[in-house]
Amino acid sequence: MQIIIFGAPGVGKGTQAKILASKLNLAHISTGDILREAIKNETELGLKAKEIVQSGGLVPDEIVGGIVKETLQQEKCKNGFILDGFPRTLPQAEILTRILSELNNEKLYLIKLEADDDVIVSRLSNRLVCSKCGYIINKDALKDNAKCPSCGAENSFVKRKDDEEEVIKNRLKVYHETTEPVFEYYQDKAEIIEVDGTKSIEEVSRAILDKLNSN
Ligand code: AP5
Q: What is the pLDDT of residues 106-152, one digit of tens each?
A: 899 999 999 999 999 999 999 999 999 888 888 888 876 678 988 99
**Which residues form the pocket of ligand 1, taking CB atoms under 6 Å from any ligand atom?**
9-15, 31-32, 35, 52-53, 56-59, 64, 85-86, 88, 92, 123, 127, 136, 138, 162, 171, 200-201, 204
Helices 165-174 and 117-125: angle between axes, nearest 10 degrees? 140
Render pLDDT for 190-213 as a digit per residue (tens, 0 to 9): 999 999 999 999 999 999 999 999
- Order across the sheet with 157-158: list the strands: 136-138, 127-130, 157-158
Domain presence at residue 153:
no
Domain presence at residue 146:
no
Render pLDDT for 81-97 as a digit per residue (tens, 0 to 9): 999 999 999 999 999 99
Q: Whose CA is nearest to atom 49 of ligand 1?
A: 12
pLDDT of residue 145: 65
pLDDT of residue 134: 86
Domain presence at residue 161:
no
To test the pocket of ligand 1, the residue of 16, 58, 116 to mutate (highest count of ligand atoms within 8 Å of its CB) is: 58
Q: Is 89 annotated to bind ligand?
A: no
pLDDT at 52 over 80: yes
Domain presence at residue 98:
yes
> What are φ and ψ of residue 128, in 5° steps?
-125, 150
Domain presence at residue 144:
no
> Count of domains in the chain?
1
Predicted interface score ipTM higher than 0.95: yes
Domain presence at residue 88:
yes
- Order across the sheet with 191-196: list the strands: 27-30, 81-84, 2-6, 108-114, 191-196
In the chain, the amino acid numbered 75 is E
Q: Is 14 annotated to bind ligand?
A: yes
The domain that holds 89 is classified in CATH as: 3.40.50.300
In this prediction the pTM is: 0.95
Which active-site residues does the annotation give?
Answer: 13, 88, 127, 160, 171
Domain presence at residue 177:
yes
Residue 69 is part of which domain span?
A: 2-115+167-213
Q: How far is the CA of 34 from the centre of ligand 1 (A)?
A: 13
Domain presence at residue 131:
no
Instruction: For CA atoms 58, 60, 65, 71, give the dihedral sign.
Output: negative
pLDDT of residue 30: 97
Cα 199 versus chain centre, distance: 18
